[in-house]
Amino acid sequence: MRRSLIMLLITTIFLLINTAAHAGKIRKRKIRKLFKHSLIVKDHFTGFALYDMDAKKMIYELNSDKYFTPASNTKLFTFYTCLKMLGDSIPTLKYITRNDSLIFWGTGDPAFLHTDLKGVKGYDLLKNSDKKLFFSSGQYQNDFYGNGWAWNDYNDDYQAEITELPLENNAAFLSADKNGALQITPSYLSQYLKCDSNYKPSSYKVQREFLTNTFVYPAMNIPADYHQEIPWKTSTALTLALLQDTLKKEVAEVRLPLPDSAKTVYDANADTVYKHMLQPSDNFIAEQLLLVCSSVKFKVMNTDSVIAYSKAHFLNDLPDAPEWVDGSGLSRYNLFTPRSMVALLCKISDEVKNDRLLHSMMPIGGVAGTIRKAYKTDNGAPFVWAKTGSMSNNHNQSGYLVTRRGKRLAFSFMNNNFTRPTREVRDDMVRIITYIHDNY
């Protein structure tokens, strides 16, 4: 009897220890069932990688070695490159003084007079100078669009042109004033507004001509809540005109090589700029930040060169070599694998070294950015921080997940070539990620 009790006690202790050891363990079999029972992920190309950041091991993979069109997941590559190449603040202008002249070069800084980032230190340098101002152009070596961009999206707010000295988001803001008249900012562009009675959109919309800054509007009443953002057609002439209009002083153009003796003006806090890029998925900021990196390293602005440098020096240990061509992900030429996305997320985490800071810059499930409405919080606490990537027939999420038991995970969930509504694909992704959080 006594021996039986001892054996029962030993068995019970063993079961308790065994149960505790397996409590919260993420089982590959259960994750596999989540995908097997999904009717949505079966009708298109799906890739998934789930990685334990503390145990440093992959938990589950589905097509994780296959290449996917990442869309705005590309911004994570831009983010990491900036972390490696830029400091705490973004350089905004380089300049020298010669006798009675101040000569300045752009760095590609997206914060320069940006409507939200409000970078003004470079502007203040020019405004407060008592010298003649000369803008030295010609530092940007690529086209006004990235490789593989859809040119017929030129009128849409997410596709601003790329330039060496961006101003005010490189975009015009249109709205109705209290009297129902069309207004445009910067006001300098008002001279290019043109009414066309033959232009009859289904709802009030302004259309810029592709090759010029003529903004055509219909002969219709403007809705009181009308707002539209339209990228303008960039040129050195327009840059000079807008600078002169806001500075209220003359700015001339020269073309000079950037000397080593040039001084640098730093402006916006880098983390703030990264947050403005990642949370709303701002294409303009992403593209311009790559130019800033190029300016710092090569003294010219060349997207191809800085991408090649980053791949060779920072990303040469990824599981699969990335096909990376732009900063924002607007190009369909970009191709990344889910397991490389997870490896990149781990490299970003190692570089930042502060989960709270890193999470604050990412879109936050149920709280902020592009996944604010996709996820619910867990009793008010967010549990997923992930960059989305969307374009026609593609939707992806790559980021960080903390489970109820405190497991720190990195994941990449990629969906390409579906024809159903994006909302259905997104909701199924949310279902799977939420299940992992709730049960582990």
Distance CA 12, CA 10 (A): 5
What is the per-residue pLDDT for 42? Answer: 86
- Distance between alpha carbon 13 and the CA centroid of its chain, in Å? 52
Residue pair 160/169 in contact by the 8 Å Cβ criterion: yes
Residue pair 407/26 in contact by the 8 Å Cβ criterion: yes
List the one residue out of 345, 343, 359, 332 whose CA is nearest residue 274: 359
Residue pair 386/398 in contact by the 8 Å Cβ criterion: yes
What's the whole-model pTM score?
A: 0.93
Domains in the chain (CATH in brackets) are 26-83+298-439 (3.40.710.10), 84-278 (no CATH)
What is the per-residue pLDDT for 16? Answer: 39
For strands 101-106 and 89-98, give the pairing. Answer: antiparallel
The phi, psi pair for 272, rounded to 5°, reads -65, -40
Residue pair 50/60 in contact by the 8 Å Cβ criterion: yes
State the CB neighbour count (10 A cutoff) for residue 278: 26
Over the stretch 307-361, which tens digit does the pLDDT of each residue have?
A: 999 999 999 999 999 999 999 999 999 999 999 999 999 999 999 999 999 999 9
What is the per-residue pLDDT for 27? Answer: 84
Distance CA 111, CA 118 (A): 6
Distance CA 152, CA 102 (A): 39
| Both tokens assigned to 438 | 């709730």
**What does the chain come to in residues?**
440
Kindly give the parts of the chain with pLDDT less than 50. Answer: 8-22
Residue pair 437/401 in contact by the 8 Å Cβ criterion: yes
Cis omega (within 30 of 0) for bond into 186 = yes
What is the per-residue pLDDT for 11? Answer: 44
Contacts 24+ apart (CB under 8 A), 366-371: 368/279, 369/278, 369/279, 369/280, 369/281, 370/279, 370/280, 370/281, 371/397
